[in-house]
Homo-oligomer: A and B are copies of this chain.
Amino acid sequence: MKYRRSGRLVDMTEYLLQHPHQSVPLTYFSEKYGSAKSSISEDIGIIKEVFEYKGIGRLATSAGVSGGVTYVPTTSRSDAGRMVDDLCTLLEEPDRLLPGGYLYMMDIIGDPALMQRMGRIFASVFQEEGVDVVMTMATKGIPLAYAVASHLHVPVSIVRHEQRVTEGSLVSINYVSGSSRRIQTMSLSKRSLKPGSRVLIIDDFMKAGGTLRGMMDLIEEFQAETVGAGVLVEAVHEKKKLVQDYVSLMKLSQVDPEARRISVEKGSLFADKNV
């Protein structure tokens, strides 16, 4: 197949979208299509303009012999605000209320496209942190963690409460659940996190932050470093937080089982600006 500009644009767009946070040398494209580098540069200019205008992401280009292009998925604050607003409304439906003041969220967590959109927001927030790996707690944090990791092009480390024979040697720590004050255990396979890694913690729900605190301690045990933490929903009615430095997309500010009323508002990501 001989590529003209139109065909190249379709193929390059697909390729870049499939390879976020990876520098692609211009020579890769020019050899693939048998086109001059100057033509490829023009193609990239067109893609860049559309990606930036439509809020799909940035195309970072580097000049010189090893010149290349890197696609960085982003979501603007205003787009993120609109998406999170919709999700807040969805979470306020009274029939989500479960005994004990819990909320049913499996329809939200079970929606891959929605998780991709939320994951992209976190990937955008932490794009400059040099994240090497995304860590989460099994099982409800997994879908969001994969969505974030796929946009950052890094692997996922899954921490568990139970110990599994299929993961080899484990490192386990005890931690105190912030809300129930019970002592619990969490474990991570020794092989699944390298010393020195820069770790982004992602979870679906945070009450007092005991699980997050535990994961941070576990990361230290591995001589790795926590570079950020993001949660989909935090419960504001838990007064005392065990963690300070995290980003939430939503805040569950009130759950009133008797009045069957749930109040959800935008989280800390939107706190410092009027978005």
* Contacts A10-B13, A143-B156 given; does A106 touch B150 at CB 8 Å: no
Q: A191 contacts B46, CB within 8 Å?
A: no
Q: B56 contacts A112, CB within 8 Å?
A: no
- Does A206 count as interface, using CB distance less than 8 angstroms? no
Interface residues of A in 87-139 (CB under 8 A from B): 98-100, 102-107, 110-113, 115-116, 138-139
Q: B51 contacts A10, CB within 8 Å?
A: yes
CA distance A51 to B17 in the complex (A): 14
Q: B1 contacts A157, CB within 8 Å?
A: no
Q: Which residues of B contact A98 (CB under 8 A)?
A: 165-168
Q: B10 contacts A104, CB within 8 Å?
A: no
Q: Which residues of B contact A112 (CB under 8 A)?
A: 146, 149-150, 153, 155-156
Q: Which residues of B contact A146 (CB under 8 A)?
A: 112, 115, 143, 146
Q: B103 contacts A166, CB within 8 Å?
A: yes
Q: Which residues of B contact A100 (CB under 8 A)?
A: 165
- Does A7 count as interface, using CB distance less than 8 angstroms? yes
Contact partner, A13, options B14, B99, B158, Cβ 8 Å: B14
Q: A110 contacts B192, CB within 8 Å?
A: yes
Interface residues of A in 31-81 (CB under 8 A from B): 46-47, 49-51, 53-54, 56
Q: Which residues of B contact A166 (CB under 8 A)?
A: 98, 102-105, 140
CB distance from A197 to the nearest CB of B (A): 13
CB distance from A69 to the nearest CB of B (A): 14
Question: Chain A 150-173, CB within 8 Å of chain B: the 1/0 string?
Answer: 100101111010000111100000
- Does A263 count as interface, using CB distance less than 8 angstroms? no
- Does A274 count as interface, using CB distance less than 8 angstroms? no
Q: Which residues of B contact A150 (CB under 8 A)?
A: 112-113, 116
- Does A254 count as interface, using CB distance less than 8 angstroms? no
Contact partner, A54, options B14, B115, B138, B167, Cβ 8 Å: B14
Q: Which residues of B contact A191 (CB under 8 A)?
A: 104, 106-107
- Does A6 count as interface, using CB distance less than 8 angstroms? yes
Q: A158 contacts B46, CB within 8 Å?
A: no
CB distance from A126 to the nearest CB of B (A): 15
16 other A-B residue contacts (CB within 8 Å) besides A102-B166, A106-B189: A7-B46, A7-B50, A9-B13, A10-B46, A11-B54, A13-B14, A14-B56, A98-B165, A99-B165, A103-B166, A104-B191, A110-B155, A110-B156, A110-B158, A112-B150, A142-B142
14 contacts between A and B (CB under 8 A): A13-B14, A14-B17, A17-B17, A102-B166, A104-B167, A106-B167, A106-B189, A110-B192, A112-B149, A138-B138, A139-B142, A139-B158, A142-B142, A143-B156
